[in-house]
Structure 1
């Protein structure tokens, strides 16, 4: 690696680590804790690469990139930031940063990006760039789009790249991960944000409603919630709308379609719930939103953000005590961001002190953990002679009792949408595991027991990642 690297970061430790690593790699390094000094070096013609933090004592590193580009159009800039939000990623992309990496960053990854930047600096016009549209850091969607986990940073960078594209977007993920919030971000953070926004759901997919939505969202965005839930006639009407818009290519008032769906839209197509021709019209770009359990490092920052927002909305100010934070961090989190938000709001209301205790957190997580049926597990316990109370009656009575408790936990509110598929998913896996165990791993006997085709069983076992061990059943 060869070249001169300019580093701007107010953290002395980061400056030292980067200086040592880049020097060992063969670079010359100038490091400062001031954006003013960085700008002076750039204007003097120094440096082949800039690495800058965002929040600096004398300004914002992303805001400084247009000036750097005007002075040195061929000088690449790598942005590093602890502000791990989708807005930061979008602003870095709009400013045409060479790369954006969240803190704490992986040093080998940063070194690789630095080498790429020094090896092939992007060509840019010598003309001063048009100022990027201003995006406020204070944007606060219904659920926060923040996260330092690699899965979320990958998501943020993808959204930033396609934010203003004209292709339709399909946002896939489990219930409660924030798909609607991300759909809103495609409108609220894009250059369409001053135009119309309309929502379409299965409950309001009549012909007049669909075409009225197109008029309302002229030049803006139509968000289609779970098109697999639309009846066949409504799906046909939606296809007609999209075809009409496609035939009007070049019209500035054609809205963009952003749709949300479950984690496996192709399964909806295979099952006949979603027309394949509609799916391919919606999936110009597919964005997969990770569940909360796949981004464990984001749980505490999200929880703190949600507590702060609850306080801003008039609830008591709360913080996480050490024991509460440890319990929350270690929780398996079968739910998603919506469940985390409900838990934080409940604790904001019920905690006995400013700092939420471990006991209070344990109680809140225990309630959440009891949200879904545990019938198969309890049935195995009854077979072993433990006979819990919930397993002493008919199976339907047991399931009904658990579901009623789940509804009761939400008080006057309804559970999150998608309950039907969510409950079936939760029951299907233990049902298959218990049936396999009962048949000694014999898939033919298991399929016969369940009353399904063996190929269907094999597909379900593969989809659910259930390992099958063939053994002789002991009598």
Structure 2
């Protein structure tokens, strides 16, 4: 890799890491915590690549891209940001950033993108795009945040097709936020100043469809779950789309965005959705991942939803560390909608400003009582045969006799790998899994020993100093108490 890289980030650690990595790769590096200094370097003609953060003390890195492009049209810009929202991805795309990567980023991935940018041969004949139009701030009612790779992939897809004239079909499980994504295709697009009409199976008569077409003239028509429409209504939708595509007012035809279940082709095969309607709707299909495929987003989403509850008149609450640990491992079959309902209920019922582990445990129990029994771990009875003597402790087993705990862990890990399809999970899996197991183990053991670290270390079979080190690393608070007899 060869070239000069300009880095702008107010985080000194990131500047050091990137400087060392790029220098080892053969680049020359200039790093700063100021956008003003970055602009000065660009105007002086320095640099073959810019890597910039978004939120800086003296401005916004994305807002600075048009000026960089004016001064140096061939200078590529890679945007890195902790603002992991769909609006950030869209604005970076509109500003013609070479690449957008969320923090914490994968260093090898960033190095590969930097190599691509430095290796790119600029074409002088390429027309310069207009400066990006100003965007409204992210709507606090839209929980379109997420650092997980699945969500970042979704954000990039939305950004690329936001202003295309193709119809969009948004697929996903119930409660994942399909309607929110669908509305973003209107609210964040060039059509946002025109009308938005929503059609559901409850109101899909001739008059309703005609009103929707008139209301959404030049805007967007959102069709909620077309597979739930009866045959006559689906035929009317086909007629609507054909008239919009071939009518005299094609220039003002609204864009069609539809939501559907996780497998629309299965709906077609089962006869719930007409194939000719499906192909008219699926110009581009966007799949919204469930929460179990974006575990790292659960806590940021929960904090966002608690903050949103405050704007709706509910008390201001925050998650305690132990409550957050419990929430993060919940399966969330109800997805974002379930999480939102739970956060609203906790905002109302929590006894103080910080939601405790006991309050979270009760909320999770109430939420999941109708779906499945809670997970319990019990020792398997030791075999009575003399041959079993000296065999060591019995393996642990899930309550109900469902097999050893290791089987449950294996099933969980296999599901985690399956969710990534043909791709592998992000690097660092070994440490992440160990942390997931280690923290609750230490917390339960401390609770069982009344906070006595000596007894807890003995129970766990580790040195007391080792236990203290782990408690510090995991930020686990220890409270001594007497057990009530």
TM range (shorter): 0.7 to 0.9
Instruction: Tell me how far apart the structure 1 counterparts of residues 364 and 287 of structure 2 sit (CA, whole Å).
Output: 27
User: Partner of 1:85 in structure 2?
Assistant: 85
Q: How does 1:243-258 map to 2 (within 5 A)?
A: 243-248=242-247, 251-258=250-257
2:109 pairs with 1:113: no
Instruction: Tell me how far apart the structure 2 counterparts of residues 63 and 224 of structure 1 sit (CA, whole Å).
Output: 35
Q: How does 1:68-79 map to 2 (within 5 A)?
A: 68-79=68-79
- Per the TM alignment, residue 247 of structure 1 is displaced from its structure 2 partner at its CA by 1.0
Alignment check: 8 A CA contact 1:307 1:344 kept: yes
- 2:78 counterpart SS class: strand
Q: How does 1:51-450 map to 2 (within 5 A)?
A: 51-121=51-121, 123=123, 129-141=129-141, 143-248=142-247, 251-372=250-371
- 2:222 counterpart SS class: strand
Instruction: Tell me how far apart the structure 2 counterparts of residues 91 and 201 of structure 1 sit (CA, whole Å).
Output: 31
Instruction: Tell me how far apart the structure 1 counterparts of residues 343 and 238 of structure 2 sit (CA, whole Å).
Output: 41
User: Partner of 1:35 in structure 2?
Assistant: 35
Instruction: Tell me how far apart the structure 2 counterparts of residues 230 and 292 of structure 1 sit (CA, whole Å).
Output: 28
Question: Matched residue pairs, number?
Answer: 377
Instruction: Tell me how far apart the structure 2 counterparts of residues 80 and 129 of structure 1 sit (CA, whole Å).
Output: 21
Per-residue deviation, residues 137-161 of structure 1 (Å, max 9, x unmatched) = 33234x4000000000000000000
Per-residue deviation, residues 316-371 of structure 1 (Å, max 9, x unmatched) = 00000111011011222222001000000000000001000000000101111124
Instruction: Tell me how far apart the structure 1 counterparts of residues 128 and 164 of structure 2 sit (CA, whole Å).
Output: 23
> How has the CA–CA distance of structure 1 residues 169 and 122 changed in structure 2, closer, same or farther, with 3 Å as cutoff?
farther
> How has the CA–CA distance of structure 1 residues 231 and 238 changed in structure 2, closer, same or farther, with 3 Å as cutoff?
same
Instruction: Tell me how far apart the structure 1 counterparts of residues 40 and 364 of structure 2 sit (CA, whole Å).
Output: 53
User: Partner of 1:8 in structure 2?
Assistant: 8
- Per the TM alignment, residue 242 of structure 1 is displaced from its structure 2 partner at its CA by 0.5
> How has the CA–CA distance of structure 1 residues 278 and 18 changed in structure 2, closer, same or farther, with 3 Å as cutoff?
same
- 1:6 counterpart SS class: strand
Instruction: Tell me how far apart the structure 2 counterparts of residues 247 and 179 of structure 1 sit (CA, whole Å).
Output: 29
TM-score by length of 2: 0.75
> How has the CA–CA distance of structure 1 residues 35 and 121 changed in structure 2, closer, same or farther, with 3 Å as cutoff?
farther
Instruction: Tell me how far apart the structure 1 counterparts of residues 221 and 351 of structure 2 sit (CA, whole Å).
Output: 44
Alignment check: 8 A CA contact 2:140 2:308 kept: no
Alignment check: 8 A CA contact 1:70 1:129 kept: no
Instruction: Tell me how far apart the structure 2 counterparts of residues 371 and 59 of structure 1 sit (CA, whole Å).
Output: 50
- 1:5 counterpart SS class: strand
- 2:105 counterpart SS class: coil
How large is the RMSD of aligned CA atoms in angstroms? 1.9
Instruction: Tell me how far apart the structure 2 counterparts of residues 371 and 23 of structure 1 sit (CA, whole Å).
Output: 57
Per-residue deviation, residues 409-449 of structure 1 (Å, max 9, x unmatched) = xxxxxxxxxxxxxxxxxxxxxxxxx9xxxxxxxxxxxxxxx
> Which sections of structure 1, spanning at least 5 residues, go unmatched?
378-433, 435-461, 466-475
- Per the TM alignment, residue 135 of structure 1 is displaced from its structure 2 partner at its CA by 1.4
- Per the TM alignment, residue 105 of structure 1 is displaced from its structure 2 partner at its CA by 0.2
Alignment check: 8 A CA contact 2:314 2:348 kept: yes
> Which sections of structure 2, spanning at least 5 residues, go unmatched?
376-401, 403-417, 422-485
- 1:17 counterpart SS class: helix
- Per the TM alignment, residue 251 of structure 1 is displaced from its structure 2 partner at its CA by 2.8
- 1:83 counterpart SS class: coil
TM-score by length of 1: 0.77
> How has the CA–CA distance of structure 1 residues 319 and 131 changed in structure 2, closer, same or farther, with 3 Å as cutoff?
same
- Per the TM alignment, residue 195 of structure 1 is displaced from its structure 2 partner at its CA by 0.4
> How has the CA–CA distance of structure 1 residues 122 and 318 changed in structure 2, closer, same or farther, with 3 Å as cutoff?
farther
> How has the CA–CA distance of structure 1 residues 226 and 373 changed in structure 2, closer, same or farther, with 3 Å as cutoff?
farther
Instruction: Tell me how far apart the structure 1 counterparts of residues 89 and 356 of structure 2 sit (CA, whole Å).
Output: 35
> How has the CA–CA distance of structure 1 residues 56 and 88 changed in structure 2, closer, same or farther, with 3 Å as cutoff?
same
- Per the TM alignment, residue 271 of structure 1 is displaced from its structure 2 partner at its CA by 0.3
- Per the TM alignment, residue 109 of structure 1 is displaced from its structure 2 partner at its CA by 0.2
